Amino acid sequence: MNTRKGMFTQVWIVICLCLPLGNIFANEHSLASSNEPLTQAQLADVQALYTQPATTEALSALAQQLNLQLDTRGQFIQQRHLQVLKKPLLSQGQFIFSPTQGLVWQQLRPFSTLMVLKDQQLIQQNSQGKVQQLNAMASGSPIAQQVPRLLQAIMAGNIAALSADFTLFMPANYNAGTPWQLGLQAKDPQLRASMGNITLSGDTLLRSLIITSSQADISDYTQIQFLDAQQGPLSTTELELFSLGSESNQ
């Protein structure tokens, strides 16, 4: 019974990054082959991280090292490994993160969807181009309303904001200036059960995000890699993406 607990609470999360009604063929995974699944050793590493609470010194060193205050864009590749699936699910696309504007998450394969996260608004466009606006306040699930905010804090690497909602973990042997790993575990038990452990890693930028179950006996995991990240002011086309929701309002 205990192993099911995660599942029951999981459903309270609303479909934040869920992209409704696309034409998907789950078997069609024609993506770049550079993405190997995590090895057992890597997964064990990730699990081990959650026994090492982050020290204040390490966190402040990390905060100095991170350079996430600028607008950043790049590619992402997501792999979802669910035990019950015959094959892992691969998807890829591009993202734009701006501390002032918010987050654009544009999936291009296997089908295209667009998600824009701005203030407390979550705007989605599915593969048929239909725009749907989910006001975080009206989206129904109590937890769903927090996810946009948490995502923004995660993408910004805003350690002060993160430590309000999460218990933070870092390897004991972290040296300032070297690649880093940061483990996030939600303080709220329901949220913890549904979000799992979120492991961020990078150097001056965020390079990958791994979500594992907070329970040892569930081997499902999701890995997102951020590639070709570039920093610099937003172009006009990029800014237009952020105005997806306001267009639909008119």
Chain residues in the site for another protein (CB under 8 A): 1, 3-24, 26-27, 78, 80, 82-87, 89, 91, 107, 111, 113, 120, 126, 137-138, 140-143, 145-147, 151, 164-165, 187-191, 194-195, 211, 213, 218-220, 222, 224
**Exposed e or buried b for every residue in 207-220, given b needs 16+ CB within 10 A?**
bbbbbbbbeeeeee
| CA proximity to 200, closest of 219, 222, 180 | 180
Nearest to another protein of 80, 207 (CB atom): 80
Name residue 206's beta-bridge partners: 202
Element (H, E) at 169: strand 166-169
Q: Distance (Å, rounded) from C-alpha 221 to C-alpha 138?
A: 29
Our CB check for another protein shows the closer of 181 and 213 to be 213
In sign, the C-alpha dihedral spanning 125, 126, 131, 133 is: negative
Which residues on adjacent β-strands are paired with residue 7? none
Least Å distance between CB 11 and another protein?
4
- Provide the minimum distance between the beta carbon of 249 and another protein in the complex, in angstroms, as a whole number: 20
Element (H, E) at 239: helix 236-242
Give the tokens for residue 220: 């499902």
| Least distance to another protein, CB of residue 232, Å | 26
Both tokens of residue 206? 């965020």
Q: Which is nearer to another protein, 212 or 234 (CB)?
A: 212
Closer to another protein at the Cβ: 101 or 113?
113
Of 41 and 164, which has the nearer Cβ to another protein?
A: 164
- The Cα–Cα gap between 45 and 71 comes to 31
- The nearest distance, CB 216 to another protein, in angstroms, is 14
Least spacing, CB of residue 44 vs another protein, in Å: 19
Q: 74: which strand partners?
A: 95
- For another protein, the closer of residues 26 and 216 by Cβ is 26
For the bound state, the minimum distance from the C-beta of residue 27 to another protein, rounded and expressed in Å, comes to: 6
| Closer of 146 and 181 to another protein (Cβ) | 146
Q: How far is the CB of 2 from another protein (least distance, A)?
A: 11
Residues 72/226, Cβ–Cβ less than 8 Å: no
